Structure 1
Amino acid sequence: MGNALETDDYVMLSGIQHFAFCPRQWALIHIEQQWKENVVTTEGNEVHRRVDDPFFDETRLDKRSVRAMPLVSESLGIRGIADMVEFRRQGEPSAETVILPEREGHWTVTPVEYKRGKPKKADHDALQLCAQAMCLEEMMGVSILVGELYYHEIRRREQIILTSPLRQRVAAIVSEMKHIYAAASTPKAVYKAHCRQCSIVSLCQPKWSRKGARSAAMYIEHSIGELEL
């Protein structure tokens, strides 16, 4: 997670999950730079802290694990970090394998994303994982058919098939993110049940702002003004 600012023609890969959950939440974090920690985000940060080691590169037998791997897709215009990328040695070359420097054999590539909770009905996590795979495919010239989501609450991985519809949705979301970011326009609030799960609901104020496109910054200014009266 995080609120790193988008630069040039690139948007942050981590924002895909935010956008899929709520475009307004994404805009408040990535355009207006609003953020508020709560128990959920703190726990999530702790889970990621354990795997956020850019110097971790371990090979055991036929498996290589690399943590905090930088990602980029020139075609999509996104940048980010993969929690972990696993390479597994295979016997024969194929479209799904790569050759690694100073290592024998042919290796499959699998992005692994770590999450604090448990599997969800919505595909927000899968979209972020799929975007990571799409970056890796472009960077390494490989085909990646599956990725894995590790959920801290249940202590196991879930395999995600990276389908064409999932990839198309990633591309559509990134395109919309770039359009909104270029316009620097925060979407209007639409109050729904999922607002209760949002870490920045107190900044968004969806019930207060749903009648107009008011930003979190305007809300804070309004609140301060009331206190000074």
Structure 2
Amino acid sequence: MVQQAQPPDPAAEDALVPLSALQHYLFCPRQCALIHVEQVWAEDGATAEGRLMHERVDSGRPDRRAGVRTVRGMVIRSLELGVAGKADAVEFHREGAESVPYPVEYKRGRPKAHRADEVQLCAQALCLEEMFGVPVPAGALFYGETRRRLAVDFTPELRRVTADAAHAVRAMLASGQTPAPHYTPACKQCSLQDLCVPRVVEKASHVGAWLARQIDASLGPE
């Protein structure tokens, strides 16, 4: 069960956590803590490509095509979720008298098996709903390798997962604790692998637990 933290004080903007932390947390809670608690970062080829893609998108000027106005690098936040960040692009689609936001998040790779990207996008939608006071039913993920958009509907289930992730991230960051490592095949894709050393730390933890059991056994009952 996800541990939920209390919503931050609306007056305390400093309590808001980065939107990107949700994506980091769902990929790996330890990675999220290393980045956002311990302030550890290492860049590899994949993260460099992603950073350059975001910089190109965010630096673009607003434009209007076929009745759709696009704002790039928009600063957004939600006091209810306790998150803040920057949306790569927000398209405003005219629907009757309203202009409905449609967030578009850019990713360098391809669609993934986990839902971290969808949650990050949904969090942007919840920010936009709070800021503009209109429903944001859908958005899109653009993947650099496939050069295609993947439409995402912000279903009640995805919204719940997103809210739970935001609460879990805030609780973890407030605790200041970094979770213990657990090696999985996904670790090979992490730019922090050499700093996290999951296999080494996990093995050391197991050895320490074994030694503690041996000491307890040798001492026997008091």
TM range (shorter): 0.7 to 0.9
Distance 2:155 2:65 in 1: 30
Q: Is the deviation greater in 173-182 or in 129-138?
A: 173-182
SS of the residue corresponding to residue 149 of structure 2 reads strand
Match of 1:63?
68
Please list every run of 5 or more consecutive structure 2 residues that lacks an aligned counterpart in the other structure.
1-12, 207-222
| Within-5 A mapping of 1:89-104 | 89-90=94-95, 92-93=96-97
Paired-residue identity, %: 45
1:61: how far off? Answer: 3.6
Distance 1:145 1:212 in 2: 45
Larger % of helix: which? 2
| Within-5 A mapping of 1:158-197 | 158-197=150-189
Distance 2:43 2:181 in 1: 20
Match of 1:113?
105
SS of the residue corresponding to residue 14 of structure 2 reads coil
Instruction: Find out whether 1:12 has 2:22 as its counterpart.
Output: no
Match of 1:155?
147
Distance 1:20 1:163 in 2: 18
1:10: how far off? Answer: 1.1
Q: Deviations over 1:6-35 (max 9, x none)?
A: x73211101111000000000000110101
Match of 1:144?
136
Aligned with residue 75 of structure 1, among 66, 80, 101: 80
Q: Is the deviation greater in 78-87 or in 203-212?
A: 203-212
Distance 2:14 2:103 in 1: 26
State which structure, 1 or 2, has the greater radius of gyration over its C-alpha atoms. Answer: 2
Distance 2:99 2:15 in 1: 32
Q: Deviations over 1:123-142 (max 9, x none)?
A: 11101000000000010001
AA matched with 1:76 = L
Aligned with residue 114 of structure 2, among 106, 114, 122: 122
Aligned with residue 27 of structure 1, among 33, 40, 43: 33
SS of the residue corresponding to residue 72 of structure 1 reads strand
Q: Aligned-pair RMSD on alpha carbons?
A: 1.5
1:191: how far off? Answer: 0.8
Structure 1's consecutive aligned runs of 4 or more residues displaced over 2 angstroms after TM superposition are: none
What is the TM-score normalised by the length of structure 1?
0.81
Structure number with higher relative contact order (C-alpha < 8 Å, ≥ 6 residues apart)? 2
Please list every run of 5 or more consecutive structure 1 residues that lacks an aligned counterpart in the other structure.
1-6, 94-105, 214-229
Distance 1:72 1:43 in 2: 26
Distance 1:60 1:81 in 2: 22
Match of 1:51?
57
Instruction: Find out whether 1:209 has 2:215 as its counterpart.
Output: no
